[in-house]
Amino acid sequence: MAEEKLMSKKKPAYPVNKALEAYLEQYSRRIELPIFYEDLLRFAGSVVVYDSHGNDTLWVRVYYTDSERREIDQSLKRVYSILHSDGSDRIFQYLNVDAVDYCTFGNSKPFRIKVRNILNDNFTYFYVKKADASRIYGLELEDILSPYNLNFLVYKDTLIEEHIAGIPGDVFIKEMLPACSKSEKAQLAKEFVKFNERCMIRLLGDMRSYNYVIIPLHDFDHVVYKIRAIDFDQQFYEGKLKVYRPQFFKENNPMVDLVRTMLLPDSVDQYKVEERSIIAKRIISSGDRIQQLVDIAKKDTLSRPENVESLKMEIFELVHDIKFKRCRSMGEILSLALDFVKRNYEGVSMKQIIEKRIHIP
């Protein structure tokens, strides 16, 4: 299938409803902020940001009038303090807002804020975006179900996200993957299998290589690679199951080739089982939190009716659970998908799986 047919041309933004707002407030995600997304749009001009090779990054560095800049700088420092510290102004004297960049590519059109500690020149980023219910569900599911914690804040129509550090997948594939050793490639293949499975189970779509990062971790005498999503715009919107499986995007073909050449089919099956088991444990350990979020999503409008109809039938064909045919929303599909994973974990022993007495689709 051609990639152009996998994705819709443009996904609409969905409003944050009252139930989701209450959930976010309960878990300290909804906090009054001193600046809104629209405030950052009042820039006076911009210049193109190039990478170290002189290529256009599709980001522009914006600048403001002197009076606007002073107010915006103070507000952004306070956002940084709320996100990373206690929200007070005690650290303001040590902070400098080095850059405000604006991305003209993609659905979210985010602002990227670079904040530097003037005492030691350490810096970090955070992002200011328009609040979109799909993205918020995606961020919260990532925090609960993935191996990684994720810090974000929402207030009215503004979303603040922390920066996720790592090597962009497309950069890694092009510049670093060819130099990896055989054992490193095998480890990357394993991580891609798990990442692919994780995205499919929680219905996170559009994980093309530039929408995730690869994180090298040094462990004794070798490097361990982890793969982490950085874009959550396409949380349960599209109607094709392939969109939620990174293996079907052409940008990921080098990673798919690694899986094909470095792993035996039995190993691939086992890594899928491992990831499903880990997700099931996270569902169980999250207590009421994941159930609260899913119950809200079940009643929310997060996609077009034809997408819901298409996706539920594709999943039914995969798992043969008649309950999927009755789904009326993306939240109901997600709820059944997570319940399916949990039930399989609780009802099937690992020994049965290994001995292949049952089939895991």
**Local confidence pLDDT in tens for the 361 residues of the chain:** 344 467 777 889 999 999 999 999 999 999 999 999 999 999 999 999 998 888 888 899 999 999 899 999 999 999 999 999 888 889 999 999 999 999 987 777 899 999 999 999 999 999 999 999 999 999 999 999 999 999 999 999 999 999 999 999 999 999 999 999 999 999 999 999 999 999 999 999 999 999 999 999 988 888 899 999 999 999 999 999 999 999 999 999 999 999 999 999 999 999 999 999 999 999 999 989 999 999 999 999 999 999 999 999 999 998 888 999 999 999 999 999 999 888 877 765 444 444 444 444 4
CA–chain centroid gap for 195, Å, is 11
Name which of 286, 276, 278 is nearest 319 in CA terms. 276
Here the tokens at position 62 are: 């914006």
- List all residues 6 or more positions away from 257 whose beta carbon is below 8 Å from its beta carbon: none
- List all residues 6 or more positions away from 9 whose beta carbon is below 8 Å from its beta carbon: none
Task: Give the per-residue SS3 of the chain.
Answer: CCHHHHCCCCCCCCCCCHHHHHHHHHCCCECCCCCCHHHHCCCCEEEEEECCCCCEEEEEEEECCHHHHHHHHHHHHHHHHHHHCCCCCCCHHHEEEEEEEEECCCCCCCEEEEEEECCCCCEEEEEEEECCHHHHHHHHHHHHHCCCCCCEEEECCEEEEECCCCEEHHHHHHHCHHHCCHHHHHHHHHHHHHHHHHHHHHCECCCCHHHEEEEEEEECCEEEEEEEECCCCCECCCCCHHHHCHHHCHHHHHHHHHHHHHCCHHHHHHHHHHHHHHHHHHHHHCCHHHHHHHHHHHCCCCCCHHHHHHHHHHHHHHHCCHHHHHCCCHHHHHHHHHHHHHHHHHHCCHHHHHCCCCCCC
CA–chain centroid gap for 31, Å, is 21
Check residue 360 and give its pLDDT.
40
Cβ atoms of 360 and 266 within 8 Å: the answer is: no
- List all residues 6 or more positions away from 319 whose beta carbon is below 8 Å from its beta carbon: 340, 361
232/206 Cα distance (integer angstroms): 9
Check residue 347 and give its pLDDT.
62
Here the tokens at position 193 are: 């299998």
Cβ atoms of 146 and 139 within 8 Å: the answer is: no
Check residue 349 and give its pLDDT.
46
Cβ atoms of 126 and 80 within 8 Å: the answer is: yes
CA–chain centroid gap for 97, Å, is 26
102/110 Cα distance (integer angstroms): 6
Number of residues that make up the chain? 361
Check residue 348 and give its pLDDT.
53
Cβ atoms of 180 and 188 within 8 Å: the answer is: yes
CA–chain centroid gap for 254, Å, is 21
Domain boundary assignment for the chain: 17-130, 167-354
